[in-house]
Copies of this chain bind each other. A is one copy, B any other.
């Protein structure tokens, strides 16, 4: 029998997160205060984040210890399995070896709890009672709802209104885990009221929901803000993914030639690839690393590398990143998790320095790849993750032409159990490459 899954015992959950900051070829440009254009300091962030996370945001330590309480909750689903995609390889008739790390085994169904649990933990330790956040399609919101319920915190989620209406079951999931879910734009915040006064029928966007959540946190003493991507500490927490994967590949004496992850804000991509980039940046290994984004929101392949706001209204510090502009509202593609105007500053700098590559795909070709995967490997992929699958399939088909036996690794960052209506649209033949 061929080996399908490479698993680790829970005592092999990483004990440290890997921080890429000290290894970057170009130091990261600091976040700026939008009024003064001066770099912001810890005190500017303390109304929103606990001090431990603020420290992690700027730390130059290569490894940061994971608290036992966080590893203990990780053990509910981690270490996650690494799969060899024998059946997909056979379907493609490729000589390439394809591996995928499956993060859909978490209770929330994606990689997002890796950072949600850490963030809830540090806030709980600092005496915070409630976290406010935003969510698009709902993967991040449900991850934070899960994490807060496990640590006994309250949770308020501003959910992009169109998703709130179209994806009621992600909302139900957050509700089941005890969170309050508010359709955004709402009349609960000045940011929301401002948008509604201009456009009462606004379908909302991730940028608007971020504005609302930040305002909520900034105006309540017992409340902090929590972000599921983009920031350095989020990338940090996700590195458990890549560290486990390295260990798992080592068990079968493999090292990837190519690593692929979908990119919205960048966290699942960073989580898988950074521990391998550590080797590449040290000059000990060479590996192609590809960020995959939708053509509908191509921040890396079609945006500009400059300072911009992280939210729509302009409440965040200015971040140096690839951006479509903070007022850009992406077309309503089904991969809601990739509809963000910007990108992680770290991922952006690595792309500017040509340490990583990027490619963009339209959603119909992405769903076609998702169906090929589901019918060969069984697992139903989230539309976000299907972007990585599409790229992995393309790379494997290149190997078929060239005869190269490359080792291809991608992050299957989540399952698609809450995205079946998107598959229905695909099968109906009415899916647009880039909806309006």
- The interface residues of chain B lying within 8 Å CB-to-CB of A3 are 10
A285 to B50, CA, bound (A): 53
Residue in contact with A375 in the complex, picked from B1, B9, B83, B149, CB distance below 8 Å: B149
Known: A4-B75, A76-B378, A105-B105. A420 touches B173 (CB 8 A): yes
Of all chain B residues, the one with the shortest Cβ separation from A424 is B172
On whether the beta carbons of A371 and B176 are closer than 8 Å, the reply is yes
Task: State A9–B81 Cα separation when bound (angstroms).
Answer: 11
Q: B374 touching A176 by the CB < 8 A rule?
A: yes
- Given A105-B105, A178-B375: A423 and B72 interface contact (C-beta under 8 Å): no
Q: Are B87 and A150 in contact (CB under 8 A)?
A: yes
Is residue A16 contacting chain B, with contact meaning CB distance below 8 A? no
Interface digits, A172-216 against B, CB 8 Å rule (1 contact, 0 not)?
110111100000000000000000000000000000000000000
Say whether A57 faces chain B, with CB atoms less than 8 Å apart.
no
Q: Which of B10, B150, B424 contacts A4 (CB 8 A)?
A: B10
Cβ-defined contact, A427 with B1, below 8 A = no
A109 to B417, CA, bound (A): 9
Does A7 belong to the interface (CB within 8 Å)?
yes
- Report B-chain residues with C-beta under 8 Å of the C-beta of A4: 10, 72, 75-76
A9 vs B7: C-alpha distance when bound (angstroms):
7
Task: Give, as a whole number of angstroms, the nearest-CB distance from A372 to chain B.
Answer: 11
Q: Using CB atoms, name the residue of chain B closest to A5.
A: B10
A386 to chain B, nearest CB (A): 12
**Interface size range on A against B:** 35 or more
Known: A3-B10, A75-B5, A175-B427. A146 touches B421 (CB 8 A): no
Instruction: Kindly state whether residue A350 has any CB partner on chain B within 8 Å.
Output: no
Give Cα A418–Cα B7 distance, bound, in whole angstroms: 27
Report which of B173, B375, B380 forms a contact with A380, defined as CB distance below 8 A.
Answer: B173
Task: Kindly state the separation between the CA atoms of A1 and B72 in the bound complex, as whole angstroms.
Answer: 6
> Secondary structure of the A side of the interface?
helix
Interface membership of chain A positions 247-266, coded 1 if the CB is closer than 8 angstroms to chain B and 0 otherwise: 00000000000000000000
A352 CB to closest chain B CB (Å) equals 39
Chain B residue contacts of A178, Cβ below 8 A: 375
Choose one: B87, B375, B421; the contact of A177 (CB below 8 Å): B375
Q: Are A2 and B72 in contact (CB under 8 A)?
A: yes
Q: Which residues of B contact A169 (CB under 8 A)?
A: 417, 420-421
Give the residue name and chain of the B residue nearest to A178 (CB): B375
Q: Which of B11, B83, B177 contacts A374 (CB 8 A)?
A: B177
A45 at the interface (CB under 8 A from B): no
Query: In A2-36, which residues have CB < 8 Å from any B CB?
Result: 2-5, 7, 9-11
Assembly CA distance A10 to B252 (angstroms): 14
User: Interface 1/0s, chain A 104-120, versus B by CB < 8 A?
Assistant: 01110100000000000
Are the C-beta atoms of B107 and A379 separated by less than 8 Å?
yes
Shortest A103–chain B CB gap in Å is 13
Contacts of A75 in B (CB 8 A): 1, 4-5
* A249 to B: closest C-beta gap in Å: 17
Taking A7-B10, A77-B378 as given, write out 12 further A-B residue pairs in contact, using a Cβ cutoff of 8 Å, ordered by the A residue number.
Answer: A1-B75, A3-B10, A5-B76, A7-B7, A76-B83, A87-B150, A168-B421, A168-B424, A172-B420, A176-B375, A176-B427, A177-B374
Instruction: Identify the A interface with B (CB < 8 A).
Output: 1-5, 7, 9-11, 68, 71-72, 75-77, 83, 87, 105-107, 109, 146, 149-150, 168-169, 172-173, 175-178, 371, 374-375, 377-380, 417-418, 420-421, 423-424, 427
